[in-house]
Chains A and B, each alone.
Chain A
Amino acid sequence: MGNPVNDIVELDARRLLCPMPVIRLQDCIKQLPADARVRITCTDPGTLHDIPTWCRLNGHRVLTTTEQQDDYIFLVHKDADGS
């Protein structure tokens, strides 16, 4: 098993409609230690709005957002004081 702080946890939320991708990210982040990073791949364009909003509200950061063909890929950092 890798170290979850250094490794990036991959989440596939393709084909899921909002708010399911947000729920997946939220439930994943809850299990991880501070400073962990999660890369979530989505297809619902609503995630462009919802994932950054959820991160802002709950004290985490979106490090990068990339669009690749039909996918939206977010790299999210779990901050220590987030929830």
Chain B
Amino acid sequence: MSKKAVALISGGLDSMLAAKLIQQQGIEVVGINFFTGFCVEGHTHAIRNRTGTRPKRNNALWVAEQLGIKLHIIDVVEEYKNVVINPRHGYGANLNPCLDCKIFMIHKAHDWIAQHGFDFIITGEVNGQRPKSQLRRFMPLVAEESGALDLLVRPLCAKNLLPTRPEREGWVDREQLRDFSGRSRKPQMALAAEFGFEDYAQPAGGCCFLTDRSYSVKLQDLWDNRGRREYELDDIMLLKVGRHIRPSRDFKLIIAREEGETRYLSGYRRQFQTIKTVSHGGPLALIEGAQLDQQQLELACAITARFSQGRDAESVEMEFSDHQQATHSVHVKPLRADQINPEWVIL
């Protein structure tokens, strides 16, 4: 009976090549993609570029279309929290829990194949390519801790690893798999050319925002100021948008950097206190924190006004809207650039 495989499709080149290597052996391949909330996919682009040219594609969907396979996108936002908050194997250079993340995703894929009558799992991992998660000694650990054991095939580097069950039992021809290793992208690019793949995504850092230093600093700031390591989907989406400025422990401003972000932040008006510039063109700012006192409110307005077109004016009129959406106007002199304490800016 012919065998069926599920491929973890991130949207990058490696998982695309891995799936293709198996597919070309006549094996039915279906893709799955996990939505954690931290994925780099299109979000900021969607926020910032509504009026732009053509909308940005979702790379996982694009890859599936190139391969001609079905793609299931699975919402793992809730379950993934524990991976980010309590990674058993710790973090990488930033708040990226890559090893736990791999184990989690392969574990989910293993559950999926059991439920859907599939035979094995494919990933685009290459040993020694990225720090930590893909070092050779971690590969058996991922297979073991995820529970996938030898049903996990890594077609791009399979020849560097012990044969898995699909290889041993002849479901897959090991000879046609590869022995890529290390950080060079040349073998992948050559294979892509062989398959005729063009225009594929080449993410620079990693597949998610957690590898980004500035994003991780903002997430850590959120945890520190709440006094607990927790988040909701809206929290982590908002960390991708705007300038984040915390003038005191009591509140943080999220100030839109351009029109698309103002539009996006407007969707949160009911959940936050907000400030907008009335007398001049300017951004919308969300205030995260308790009700502000008068002094804090004036400071928040003066900071926001700094990023408006009235930044050099003597007085700028701002509209403040509280948690109940009651509004009143505030007149302030915008802060000068040198009055914004660099320590307030969360970068």
Question: Is residue B223 contacting chain A, with contact meaning CB distance below 8 A?
Answer: no
CB distance from B77 to the nearest CB of A (A): 9
Q: Take A23-B35, A23-B75 as given contacts and tell me if A58 and B70 are in contact as well, using a CB distance cutoff of 8 Å.
A: yes
Residue of B nearest to A30 (CB): B72
Q: B60 — which chain A residues lie within 8 A by C-beta?
A: 19
Contact with B along A27-48 (1 / 0, CB 8 A): 1000000000000000011111
List A residues 46-63 near B (Cβ within 8 Å).
46-50, 53-54, 56-59
Residue of B nearest to A53 (CB): B61
Query: In the docked arrangement, what's the CA distance between A15 and B61, Å?
Result: 20
Question: Is residue B231 contacting chain A, with contact meaning CB distance below 8 A?
Answer: no
Q: Is the CB of B58 within 8 A of A26?
A: no
List B residues 53-89 near A (Cβ within 8 Å).
54-58, 60-62, 64-65, 69-75
Query: In the docked arrangement, what's the CA distance between A20 and B42, Å?
Result: 11
Q: Take A17-B46, A53-B61, A57-B64 as given contacts and tell me if A22 and B73 are in contact as well, using a CB distance cutoff of 8 Å.
A: yes
Q: Is the CB of A17 within 8 A of B71?
A: no
- Selected from A45, A54, A57, A83, the residue in CB contact (under 8 A) with B55 is A45
Residue tally, chain B, CB below 8 Å to A: 30
Question: Is residue B267 contacting chain A, with contact meaning CB distance below 8 A?
Answer: yes
Q: Is the CB of B54 within 8 A of A49?
A: yes
Query: In the docked arrangement, what's the CA distance between A10 and B88, Å?
Result: 42
Question: Is residue A18 contacting chain B, with contact meaning CB distance below 8 A?
Answer: yes
Q: B249 — which chain A residues lie within 8 A by C-beta?
A: none
Residue of B nearest to A24 (CB): B75
Q: Is the CB of B47 within 8 A of A17?
A: yes
Question: Is residue B229 contacting chain A, with contact meaning CB distance below 8 A?
Answer: no
Q: Is the CB of B56 within 8 A of A23?
A: no
Q: Tell me the dominant secondary structure on chain A's binding face.
A: helix
Query: In the docked arrangement, what's the CA distance between A56 and B68, Å?
Result: 10
Q: Take A48-B55, A49-B54, A49-B57 as given contacts and tell me if A57 and B69 are in contact as well, using a CB distance cutoff of 8 Å.
A: yes
Residue of B nearest to A14 (CB): B267
Contact with A along B195-217 (1 / 0, CB 8 A): 00000000000000000000000
Q: Is the CB of A45 within 8 A of B46?
A: yes
Q: A46 — which chain B residues lie within 8 A by C-beta?
A: 42, 45-46, 55-58
Query: In the docked arrangement, what's the CA distance between A19 and B49, Å?
Result: 16
Query: In the docked arrangement, what's the CA distance between A50 and B46, Å?
Result: 12
Residue of B nearest to A48 (CB): B55
Q: Is the CB of B71 within 8 A of A18?
A: no
CB distance from B208 to the nearest CB of A (A): 13
Query: In the docked arrangement, what's the CA distance between A49 and B62, Å?
Result: 10
A-B contacts, 12 of them at CB < 8 A, read A18-B41, A18-B46, A19-B33, A19-B58, A27-B75, A44-B46, A46-B58, A48-B55, A49-B57, A57-B64, A57-B71, A58-B71
With A19-B60, A53-B58 given, name 9 new contacts (CB 8 A): A17-B46, A19-B61, A20-B35, A22-B58, A22-B73, A46-B46, A53-B61, A56-B65, A83-B70
Give me the interface of A with B, judged by CB distance under 8 Å.
15, 17-20, 22-23, 26-27, 44-50, 53-54, 56-59, 83
Rank and list the top 9 A-B pairs by shortest CB-CB distance, nearest first.
Answer: A45-B55, A15-B267, A53-B61, A46-B46, A44-B46, A50-B58, A46-B55, A49-B55, A23-B75
